[in-house]
Structure 1
Amino acid sequence: MRLLQVVESAATGVGRHVMDLSGGLLERGDEVVLAYADWRMDRMFAEGLARLEPKGLKAIKLPFSREIGPEDLRSIRALRDLIRTHGPFDAVHGHSSKGGAVARVAARTVPRRLYTPHAYITMAPTIGVRKFRLYRALERYLARLGTGTVCVSHHEKAHAVGTLGIPAPTVHVVHNGVAGPARGDRESIRAELGVQEGDVAFGFVGRLWTQKNPLLAVDAFARLRAVHPEARLLMVGTGDLEDAIRARGVPGVELLGERNGPQTMHAFDAFVLPSDYEGFPYVTLEAMATGVPVISTETGAIGEAVRDGVDGFLVPPGDATALSGAMARLMADPALRARMGASARERAGSFTIDGMVEKIRTLYAG
């Protein structure tokens, strides 16, 4: 098949999804053209381009703006020109809100026009009423221009159908997938980080900003640390809340900055995700694939991967007492950590890149 991927948000989970998908399609003999914006491109996406272009990926930079405005007309014209020049295509797949909008408007001549929201903006709990109504109207209109929506979770599909009014028969669910655990030696990584024998290391990987609510993890850990001085909280990532975390002054909390998150997970005894809201995050699957039990707030589609009491624990968002209690249970019971970690690793095998690619490819084929 000849396939066109369109993405403006070429970073974080969206960018990773596009690269994993494009790589899998190339491996299956498909021709893939990628239209992308480089102004928000992160290191992982750039490395993906460098890896896949020699394998046949044709990557073309397009002018995109993040906000809705007249610049969108320029993006639509540029994509139409690309389709005329490099087409015909069997399917076009737009990713995230801007890529999805431009793709569906510009690619009216392409037989199959798919869109993956990667979490609708209307799912954000902080969105105002007027903005919600505007985006709901836009999503309904754009859905009529496409032939299908590919959600990354059943939670997202329920929002698309029940809240936005997208016709259910056109909405499909394909979960994100991971290749497996990153390479890493537990003992050497723990030694590098100064984790002593007998320490129990809880870990966080992600952006240190409001949506991820890392301060909740710090506050919950503070209660645990008061009872268990051998507890550690290793936080991988950077962001606006770094100073606030330091200001808490909680012993045992260590900000590690930017480093390889999946590799660092080998040092963790448990992974903590304290987010206020989430979609279906890769970071949870990465921790599970590494064999690390997950303690997460029960938000978004987390429960579609993590089974409460089996692969880890799910607690109410914003509840430091419940989060600390779950951490204490794993702190006190090495056998429970091992059992949940083994279960998590097995569960992660249900969410693979190959499975994701095959399901999406079936939708391309119609």
Structure 2
Amino acid sequence: MGQRGKMRILIVLEPSGGGSGRNALDLVAATLDRGHDTHLVYSATRMDPLFARRLSAICPSRRHRVDMDRAPGPRDLFALRGLRQLLRRLGPFDVIHAHSSKAGALTRLLPRRYGARIYTPHAFRTMDPACRGIARAVFGGVEGALARWATDALICVSPDERAEAQRLRAPLDRTHLVPNGVPRATPSVPLTRADLNLSPTDIVFGFVGRLSAQKDPLAFVEAIARIRDLTHVRVIIVGVGELEAQLQQQIDAKGLGEVIRCVGQDDAARYYPLFDIFVLTSRYESMPYVLIEAAEAGLPMIATDVSTADSIILDGQNGLVVPRADLATALPEAMEALIQPDQRSAMTAQAARLRGRYSLDRMVDQTLAVYQAALDGQGGSAGAGR
């Protein structure tokens, strides 16, 4: 360890984007600001434009490209060799913090002499309802074995993720709960309703996220189509992904082109001030940044009953939690309830009072405490939740 408690930290990431990418970049920036010697290993295989923009702000000598594939395969051997060569050149580090399952598996196959091994899954693969049978057994077996034998600290970002870690038999004394945190939103270029031809009387539902099967934007559009009166309803969808073309086809087929606007990849902070209600339709999640951002923006929310929704949303106070199993009925009913002025006004006021629970400084403090506990060999008494 460096002078006066400063650490050498290596953060390793496979999906260069989404919530895990944001978490990793936030940690890099915050730990550098606090004087730690932090480096980032990233993969360009899955990199979104927002990640690339933030990556360019990191000193070139502190960012290192090692391409990794999401799915297991023979190319993993090349990624492992690349990591080993980089560590021989730059290491050792005090801690190596891997984000997501692929980076977590590869870094924990390396000897501990390169640094204490910290792992954040950002939703175990076994939390995906589509992961069943042999695949679930294999992924679960690998995660459990690595947690027991090759992990100095496991950081879970949600209570559900921690519960899944326990089901996979991860050691309790090395499992920590550190929820994601966000800075106060500062949109790069603020938008007004006039910019998007929205009237002051429009009720705007917002969706932010990857257009993927996990986030299920198709269910969101289906729910919009079931709302009985769309006269003053407008919808903004922020994001890109593999379902983009199918989503637009669905919007056109439902005759919702005047109601729904897809704006593509953009700075979501520009759009939160335009939303009246935020909607999350995910099939599974760990600790979704978009829900935290909506909460910190003081928005009433509607979300499926996955992962941390019921810890961010106090059902009936600052939003509504709807059952994923009955989404086709429950989601349009919840949306119609919040279209009503009295209920929307009451939830908006309560949402404003509940802001400030998920700060970035708190997340960084707890993460550094986990690092220190791993170095000290003190198990879970690091100040982060367990």
- How does the TM-score come out when normalised to structure 1? 0.92
Kindly indicate whether the alpha-carbon contact (under 8 Å) linking 1:117 and 1:151 is maintained by their aligned counterparts in 2: yes
Aligned-partner SS, 1:165: coil
Distance in 1 of aligned mates of 2:177 and 2:16:
22
Cα distance change, pair 67–42 in 1 and its aligned pair in 2 (3 A) = same
Match in the other structure for 1:149: 154
In the alignment, is residue 233 of structure 1 matched against residue 235 of structure 2? yes
CA distance in 1, matches of 2:202, 2:180: 33
Matches of residues 1-366 of structure 1 in structure 2 within 5 Å?
A: 1-53=7-59, 58-143=62-147, 144-162=149-167, 164-183=168-187, 189-224=192-227, 226-239=228-241, 240=243, 241-242=246-247, 243-250=249-256, 252-317=259-324, 318-333=326-341, 335-366=342-373
1:244-277 per-position Cα deviation (integer Å, ceiling 9, x unaligned): 2322223522333333222112111111112222
State the AA in 2 paired with 1:231.
V
Residue 77 of structure 1, CA deviation: 2.6
323 and 102 in structure 1: CA distance in 2 versus 1, 3 angstrom threshold = same
Report percent identity of matched pairs.
Answer: 38
CA contact (8 A) 1:205 1:237 kept: yes
> What's the offset of the Cα at 1:342?
4.0
> Secondary structure of 2:56's partner?
helix
Q: Which runs of 5+ in 2 are unaligned?
A: 1-6, 374-386
Cα deviation, residue 309, structure 1: 1.2
Q: Closer, same or farther in 2 for the Cα pair 1:51/1:339, shift >3 Å?
A: farther
What is the aligned-residue RMSD (CA, Å)? 2.0
Aligned pairs, number: 360
Structure 1 segments, 4+ long, off by >6 Å, are none
Distance 2:205 2:127 in 1: 29
Change (3 A) 1:25 1:342: farther
Q: Could you tell me how far apart the structure 2 residues matched to 1:222 and 1:184 are?
A: 32
Q: 1:4 to 1:212 in 2, by over 3 A?
A: same
Q: Secondary structure at the match of 2:204?
A: strand
- Quick check: 2:188–2:267 contact (8 Å CA) kept in 1? no
Note if contact 1:21-1:353 (Cα within 8 Å) is conserved in structure 2: no
Three-state SS of the structure 2 residue aligned to 1:93 is strand
Structure 1 stretches of 5 or more lacking a match?
none
SS in 2 for 1:166: coil
Q: Tell me if the contact between 1:184 and 1:264 (Cα under 8 Å) persists in the aligned partners.
A: no
Which amino acid counterpart does residue 29 of structure 1 have in structure 2?
A: G
SS at match of 1:5: strand
Q: Distance in 2 between matches of 1:299 and 1:255?
A: 25
d(CA) in 2 for partners of 1:140 and 1:345?
A: 40
CA contact (8 A) 1:174 1:360 kept: yes
- In structure 2, the CA distance between the partners of 1:332 and 1:184, relative to structure 1 (3 Å rule), is farther
The secondary structure found in structure 2 opposite 1:169 is: helix
Name the aligned partner's letter for residue 197 of structure 1: P
Q: What displacement does 1:110 show?
A: 3.7
Aligned CA distance change for structure 1 residues 76 and 24 (closer, same or farther; 3 Å)? same
Instruction: Compute the TM-score of the two structures, normalised by the length of structure 2.
Output: 0.87
Q: 1:150-198 CA deviation, whole Å, 9 max, x = no partner?
A: 0110110101112x12122211110111102233898x52111111132
